[in-house]
Structure 1
Amino acid sequence: MPILDVVDAEAGGDVGRVVVAGFDPPPGRSVADQARYLRDEADGLRRALIAAPYGEPSQSINLVVPALTPEADVGLIITGTMGYPGFSGSNAMCTVAALIDRGIIDPADGVLRLETPAGITPVDVHVAGAALSVSYPAPVAYAEPGQRIAEVPGWGRVAYTLAYSGTCYVVVDSADVGLRPTAAAVPEIRRLFDALLDTIGPEVRLDHPDLGVLAELRLGLLADSTVAVDPTTPETPCPVAVYMAGGVICEGPTGTGTSALLAWLAGLGRIGPGTRLLTTAPSGNSFTGEYTDDTMVGPYPAARTRVTGRPRLLGRTTIDLRTDG
């Protein structure tokens, strides 16, 4: 195992560890191929970095690789307890902060084209003094029409919806389970999604019209379907809680969680294009999500969204994995 050059950053409250050097890019003709190779053939680096003594399950890992598509500037493989998602907004933001810190990109360029397993995302970068703002058009998001039902021990019948926003979410309406996404409710939220994902098991997966059957469900989103958009404010507050398999409740609303929320609410007819939400995690950390336009994913109504956040640098470190063989 290698010696890794790592930059730690934070976006929306969640820590992303960005590995900028020290490992060989995996084989593959695209970043998507490389992520699949790591998932299926070489998962040791992920497992090492999300466990003691090198890390913890709440931290995501971002592997910076050369772009393999001519239209992209940099490649990014995202991983962690959630597996190898196609995209992650907070991790894309953390990676931008790390690349600026290492001088790999110049913020004056204004736009960074990231190649992730979900495709190429043009990330808008704005610097004002020491403050960094990052905004990006998210992968097209949609929610399955209707609800699925699971008989969950300790909870009874739980209705849920599968949504895609660059990765897959199990979305639960807080009103249906009598559980609000607040700090005081975090232990119960964790208990709910632990039990729900265990009940669903690996058999239930999202069948994406373009991408096919996707990976095992490992992310949950608790949100309120009755959110009322306030036309007098530029951003309507919307509390959410994001769960990652392994009992992690994210410190932030996450970028993909924000996009999944917008698609879910759009599918319910609660919001329309032009809606801006301030998604806020139980910790109080927030992102801004905008529903920019309607589109389709196969036969399903879908949403184009944009997410904005303010990543910041936390520190730099070297991780020596050589003694792990």
Structure 2
Amino acid sequence: MSTYHTRSVRTVDSHTEGNPTRVIVGGVPVPPGNTLLEKRAWLRDHDDGLRRMLNFEPRGSGLMCSVLLLPPETDSADFSVIIMEQREYVPMCGHCIIGTAMTVVSEGMVPVVEPVTTVRFDTPAGLVTCEVSVRDGQVGAVSFENVESFTLCSDASLDVPDLGRISVDIAYGGDFYVIVDADSLDLDLSLQNDQQLIDFSIRIREAVADQIETVHPERPDINTCYQVLFTSSKTSQGDYKQTILCPPGSLDRSPCGTGTSARVALLHDRGEIGLGETRAFEGPLGTCMHGEAVRAEQRGGTTFVTPRITGTAWITGYHHFVMAPDDPLQMGYRVGPA
């Protein structure tokens, strides 16, 4: 690093079915703290500039997510991860974990075993186990058993400004999602309709915050629903089509791993996916993730479903980012909704 630059960070970038992930592989020391949650809190409170530097323009974009690789917190894991999105330090992100698993295997950061290399991550939401397909040294699809997912409420009535009263579901798949039938609102889920989708999503998200309490029944620290998932039966590649609003106001290009997990839990509760069954979930670009209901367990009146999600990621670049002390925009900037 030049003595002129005040920060130097190296990353491996990828996209998972169209959505970007930036894995930090150098330049960032392990944050202080005895647990992963303490390390995440320290980063948020004392070095949030890292998230802004990497995710915001001009180095990032409205969809960029960064992942800080750390030593494992438990004996079961290979790494711990802190996942930094545009606005939040999220408990879990499916497309990020697929991109990260592909990256650590592709870069030889774990022993590579063919045909499947197993990589385990401690996340703030719990342990996530990934199975990475490898053939002749080439990394392929990544599958992971996500954290236990569940339906918080089904067919809840929500009063949304300018939309009136609509019916929504809220389910958890590593993050909470408010799930809305786009066909009932006559919404087109293509990216060409992004402005209307973003406008509706923001209104729905704000209405949920005002009208519905969203608290994980076993993790009261998980208590925010900021993602909106629109569903449609109008699909060309999969069994279901879906588009997700990524806070603060961009549309996920992928089908979304945690969103798919939430949908698997909801569809299992409705009898549309049985244990051991798999469905294809199509995103706005026509790419698909596959979701399977692996196990289900009843606790405290809630059915917890373990989903298995499969998707593919590709490396897009190797980057060395620096920060100049006299750059007035050194921390980056964001354009659009706050």
Q: Specify if TM > 0.5.
A: yes
Give the whole-Å Cα distance in 2 for the aligned partners of 1:8 and 1:276.
29
Provide the identity percentage.
Answer: 25
Write out per-residue CA displacement over residues 242-301 of structure 1, whole angstroms, 9 at most, x where no aligned residue: 111222111101110111111111223322212211111111111111112222353211
Which of 5, 20, 23 is the aligned partner of 1:18? 23
Which of 145, 151, 154 is the aligned partner of 1:143? 151
Further displaced range: 271-280 or 94-103: 94-103
Code of the residue aligned with 1:123 in structure 2: it is C
* Residue of structure 2 in register with 1:5 after alignment: 10
Root mean square deviation of aligned Cα: 2.4
Write out per-residue CA displacement over residues 210-265 of structure 1, whole angstroms, 9 at most, x where no aligned residue: 101524322111114x799xxxxxx9621111111222111101110111111111
Aligned residues: 318
SS in 2 for 1:110: strand
Code of the residue aligned with 2:301 in structure 1: it is P
Report the alpha carbon displacement of residue 193 of structure 1 after superposing the two structures with TM.
0.3
Code of the residue aligned with 1:270 in structure 2: it is E
Code of the residue aligned with 1:39 in structure 2: it is R
Alignment of 1:124-203 (within 5 A): 124-129=131-136, 130-201=138-209
Code of the residue aligned with 1:164 in structure 2: it is Y
Write out per-residue CA displacement over residues 56-92 of structure 1, whole angstroms, 9 at most, x where no aligned residue: 1211111111112222111111111251111112111
Contact 1:179 1:189 in 2 (8 A): yes
Write out per-residue CA displacement over residues 79-120 of structure 1, whole angstroms, 9 at most, x where no aligned residue: 112511111121111112222343312322721111111121
* Residue of structure 1 in register with 2:222 after alignment: 214
Report the alpha carbon displacement of residue 29 of structure 1 after superposing the two structures with TM.
2.1
* Residue of structure 2 in register with 1:272 after alignment: 274
Which of 233, 245, 248 is the aligned partner of 1:246? 248
Contact 2:189 2:242 in 1 (8 A): yes
Alignment CA distance shift 1:163-1:315 (3 Å): same
* Residue of structure 2 in register with 1:232 after alignment: none
Further displaced range: 280-289 or 98-107: 98-107
* Residue of structure 1 in register with 2:125 after alignment: 118
Give the whole-Å Cα distance in 2 for the aligned partners of 1:204 and 1:41.
32
Unaligned runs of 5+ in 1: 229-234
Further displaced range: 101-110 or 148-157: 101-110
- Residues 1:65 and 2:70 are matched in the alignment: yes
Code of the residue aligned with 1:75 in structure 2: it is S
Report the alpha carbon displacement of residue 131 of structure 1 after superposing the two structures with TM.
4.1
Alignment CA distance shift 1:166-1:204 (3 Å): same
* Residue of structure 2 in register with 1:231 after alignment: none
Which of 312, 315, 326 is the aligned partner of 1:313? 315
Give the whole-Å Cα distance in 1 for the aligned partners of 2:164 and 2:41.
36
Contact 1:30 1:69 in 2 (8 A): no
Alignment CA distance shift 1:202-1:31 (3 Å): farther
* Residue of structure 2 in register with 1:95 after alignment: 100
Give the whole-Å Cα distance in 1 for the aligned partners of 2:89 and 2:104.
21
SS in 2 for 1:6: strand
Code of the residue aligned with 1:107 in structure 2: it is V
- Residues 1:49 and 2:51 are matched in the alignment: no
Alignment CA distance shift 1:51-1:82 (3 Å): closer
Write out per-residue CA displacement over residues 143-171 of structure 1, whole angstroms, 9 at most, x where no aligned residue: 11333333222211132222111111111
Alignment CA distance shift 1:29-1:136 (3 Å): same
Alignment CA distance shift 1:146-1:93 (3 Å): closer
TM-score, normalisation: structure 1: 0.89
Write out per-residue CA displacement over residues 122-154 of structure 1, whole angstroms, 9 at most, x where no aligned residue: 211111243422111111100113333332222
* Residue of structure 2 in register with 1:298 after alignment: 300
TM-score, normalisation: structure 2: 0.86
Alignment CA distance shift 1:182-1:52 (3 Å): closer
Contact 1:252 1:286 in 2 (8 A): yes
Contact 2:277 2:292 in 1 (8 A): yes
* Residue of structure 1 in register with 2:3 after alignment: none
SS in 2 for 1:263: helix
SS in 1 for 2:89: coil
Give the whole-Å Cα distance in 2 for the aligned partners of 1:184 and 1:54.
25
Code of the residue aligned with 2:119 in structure 1: it is L
Report the alpha carbon displacement of residue 204 of structure 1 after superposing the two structures with TM.
4.7
SS in 1 for 2:90: coil
